[in-house]
């Protein structure tokens, strides 16, 4: 039983660490502030939660598990809220999202292309 508990703990911890690495790559590779913020916010929340669940398995049933659960609940609610607040502040400050050439904020882009040789 202890072996299963350790395997589950390390499975969750490694999965959380892997997701955090993917999020870090997203912060480097994505083109603008909003997509980077989205990648960082979503992956950070999920990666941290998985790592905390792994630590809960490692700790067993104790006061430490309760404390880890409370930390996880705090992160679950505050991380998305802070990500939204940062994105809203950036938009209000005038930081426009990266859009396809010729597309304005809030407008839909035409998908039909005109043939220059037709005229």
Express each pLDDT in 22-65 by its tens digit: 888 888 888 888 888 888 888 889 999 999 999 999 998 999 99
**Region of residue 15 (left: phi > 0; alpha: psi -120 to 50; beta: else):** alpha
Q: Per 3-state DSSP, what percentage of the chain is helix, strand, and coil (rounded to 5)?
A: 75, 0, 25
Enumerate the domain spans of the chain. Answer: 2-93
| The pLDDT of residue 27 | 86
| The pLDDT of residue 101 | 67
Query: What's the rounded Cα separation, in Å, for the pair 82 and 28?
Result: 21
| The pLDDT of residue 104 | 58
Residue 82 pLDDT > 80: yes
| In the block, residue with structure tokens 């950036």 | 90
**Residue 7 corresponds to which tokens in the numbers above?**
């395997």
| The pLDDT of residue 115 | 56
| The pLDDT of residue 89 | 94
> Average pLDDT in the 53-81 region?
93
Structural contact between residues 10 and 23, judged by C-beta atoms closer than 8 angstroms = no
**97 CA to centre of own chain:** 18
Closest C-alpha among 91, 73, 80 to residue 41: 80
Query: What's the rounded Cα separation, in Å, for the pair 80 and 88?
Result: 12
> Average pLDDT in the 76-81 region?
92
- Of the chain, the percentage scoring pLDDT greater than 70 comes to 83
Q: What is the pTM of this model?
A: 0.75
> Average pLDDT in the 93-116 region?
64
């Amino acid at each position: 039983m202890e072996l299963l508990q350790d395997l589950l703990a390390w499975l969750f911890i490694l999965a959380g660490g892997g997701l955090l690495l993917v999020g870090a790559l997203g912060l480097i590779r994505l083109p603008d502030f909003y997509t980077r913020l989205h990648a960082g916010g979503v992956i950070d929340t999920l990666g941290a939660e998985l790592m905390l669940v792994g630590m809960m398995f490692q700790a067993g049933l104790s006061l430490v598990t309760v404390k880890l659960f409370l930390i996880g609940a705090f992160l679950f609610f505050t991380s998305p809220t802070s990500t939204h607040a940062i994105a809203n502040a950036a938009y209000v400050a005038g930081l426009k999202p990266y859009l396809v050439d010729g597309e304005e904020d809030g407008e839909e882009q035409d998908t039909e292309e005109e043939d220059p040789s037709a005229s």
